[in-house]
């Protein structure tokens, strides 16, 4: 399939995380920005010029304001009932149509190692391979409760590309040890979803089946559909050159802010501030 990606879907409808994309940070260029705007710039630089944002009812005004100059690119879709992450993504089926699309979650920020942003790396590799592709990151076992995790094997002659065989949502360590170990990773590490994907239209069909099979109270997750996608068509995972920062975990916003600062133009000033802070703490403890 030709994987020309011009549309993107960002999900930000989780009731307990709806305010996260509205938080203010200092970006690498030294400018104050809402987290949402930083995510939008990630998407736009990857080549997507039409963006759907799945939100809670009533949040459109706040999100449009947070998007700043990019608000005109946005199509807002409301998830009226909290039926899960997979359901939120499925609501964008009319927007994506029969085209491949980029998908990011609204509670992660990304910092690349190198000139290409993380989303751009994913889009370019999906286009080169001609198939669905998800970014992954080697993740410590203690972080498994926060992420979907893949099982699979390395693609021959590649050290960053994997054939996905299974995807499990937030597995226990024992589950991961039994079925999700990937040869070549350090002991105690697993390949967890990064929050950036390029999907074929097939994912919407699979999510639609998940939605139809449950009750209106049933939460639809993405990982079961991804596991089925791996059985239906070629589906790869890429270890991107970069890191994700989940702003929804404890101290996640702090970690993301520090990571942006240490990768930006004010790096030396921030390092000096951290050294002074640590020095003052040591003096107080003496």
Q: For a pLDDT cut of 90, what percent of the chain falls above it?
A: 77
Sorted by sequence, the CB contacts under 8 Å of residue 144 that are 6+ apart come out as 170, 171, 172, 173, 176, 190, 192
Could you write out the DSSP letters of every residue in 138-197? EEEGGGGGGSEEEEEEEPTT-SSEEEEEEEEES--HHHHHHH---TTSPTTEEEEEEEEE
> Of 235, 224, 206, 236, nearest to 148 (Cα)?
224
pTM above 0.75, yes or no: yes
The residue-averaged pLDDT of 269-284 equals: 79
CB 149 within 8 A of CB 190: yes
CB 131 within 8 A of CB 162: no
Sorted by sequence, the CB contacts under 8 Å of residue 15 that are 6+ apart come out as 56, 82
Q: What is the DSSP letter of 115?
A: S
Q: How confident is the model at residue 6 (pLDDT cuts 50, 70, 90)?
A: very high
200 pLDDT above the threshold of 70: yes
Q: How many residues does the chain have?
A: 286
CB 87 within 8 A of CB 207: yes
- Other CB atoms within a 10 A radius of the CB of residue 175 amount to 13
- Domain 7-285 annotated CATH 3.30.70.3450: no
C-alpha span between 254 and 261 (Å, rounded): 11
Q: For a pLDDT cut of 70, what percent of the chain falls above it?
A: 98
The per-residue pLDDT for 196 is 97
In the chain, where are the structural domains located? 7-285
CA angle 120/125/129 to nearest 5° reads 155
C-alpha span between 102 and 119 (Å, rounded): 8
* Each residue's pLDDT tens digit, 227-263: 999 999 999 999 999 999 989 888 999 999 999 988 9
Q: How confident is the model at residue 24 (pLDDT cuts 50, 70, 90)?
A: very high
284 pLDDT above the threshold of 70: no
The per-residue pLDDT for 266 is 85
The residue-averaged pLDDT of 141-145 equals: 92
> Of 96, 79, 92, nearest to 14 (Cα)?
79
* Each residue's pLDDT tens digit, 66-122: 999 999 999 999 999 999 999 999 999 999 999 999 999 999 999 999 889 999 999
Distance between terminal CA atoms of the chain?
Answer: 65
283 pLDDT above the threshold of 90: no
Longest dimension (CA), the chain: 65
The per-residue pLDDT for 218 is 80
281 pLDDT above the threshold of 80: no
270 pLDDT above the threshold of 90: no
In terms of pLDDT, which residue wins out, 91 or 15? 91
12 pLDDT above the threshold of 90: yes
Backbone angles phi, psi at 10, to 5 degrees: -115, 125
C-alpha span between 64 and 61 (Å, rounded): 5
The per-residue pLDDT for 278 is 81
What residue ranges in 3-107 does DSSP mark as E strands? 7-12, 24-26, 32-34, 50-55, 74-78, 101-105
Tokens 């640590």 appear where? 278
* Each residue's pLDDT tens digit, 204-224: 999 999 999 876 768 899 999
The residue-averaged pLDDT of 52-70 equals: 95
Q: What is the mean pLDDT of the chain?
A: 92
Q: How confident is the model at residue 282 (pLDDT cuts 50, 70, 90)?
A: confident
131 pLDDT above the threshold of 70: yes
The residue-averaged pLDDT of 11-28 equals: 90
Q: Which residues lie across from 74 on neighbouring strands?
A: 51
The per-residue pLDDT for 34 is 95
Strands 235-239, 108-112: pairing kind: unpaired
* Each residue's pLDDT tens digit, 171-188: 999 999 999 989 888 889
């Amino acid at each position: 399939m030709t994987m020309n990606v011009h549309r993107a879907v960002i999900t930000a409808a989780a009731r307990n995380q709806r305010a996260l994309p509205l938080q203010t940070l200092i970006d690498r260029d030294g400018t104050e920005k809402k987290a949402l705007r930083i995510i939008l710039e990630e998407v736009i630089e990857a080549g997507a010029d039409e963006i759907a944002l799945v939100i809670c009812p009533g949040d459109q005004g706040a999100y449009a304001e947070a998007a700043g100059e990019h608000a005109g690119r946005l199509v807002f879709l409301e998830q009226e009932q909290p039926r899960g992450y997979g359901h939120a993504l499925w609501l964008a089926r009319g927007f994506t149509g029969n085209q491949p699309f980029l998908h990011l979650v609204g509670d992660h920020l990304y910092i690349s190692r190198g000139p290409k942003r993380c989303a751009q790396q994913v889009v370019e590799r999906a286009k080169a391979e001609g198939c669905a592709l998800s970014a992954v990151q080697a993740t410590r076992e203690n972080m498994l409760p926060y992420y979907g995790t893949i099982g699979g094997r390395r693609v021959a002659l590649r050290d960053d590309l994997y054939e996905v065989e299974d995807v499990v949502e937030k597995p226990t360590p024992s589950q991961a040890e039994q079925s999700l170990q990937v040869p070549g990773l350090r002991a105690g590490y697993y390949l967890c979803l990064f929050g950036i994907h390029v999907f074929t239209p097939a994912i919407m069909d699979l999510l639609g089946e998940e939605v139809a099979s449950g009750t209106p109270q049933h939460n639809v997750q993405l990982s079961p559909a991804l596991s089925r996608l791996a059985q239906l068509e070629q589906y790869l995972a890429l270890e991107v050159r970069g890191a994700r920062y989940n702003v929804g975990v404890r101290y996640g916003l702090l970690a993301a802010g520090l990571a942006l600062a240490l990768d930006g133009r004010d790096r030396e000033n921030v390092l000096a501030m951290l050294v002074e802070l640590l020095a003052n703490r040591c003096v107080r403890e003496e």
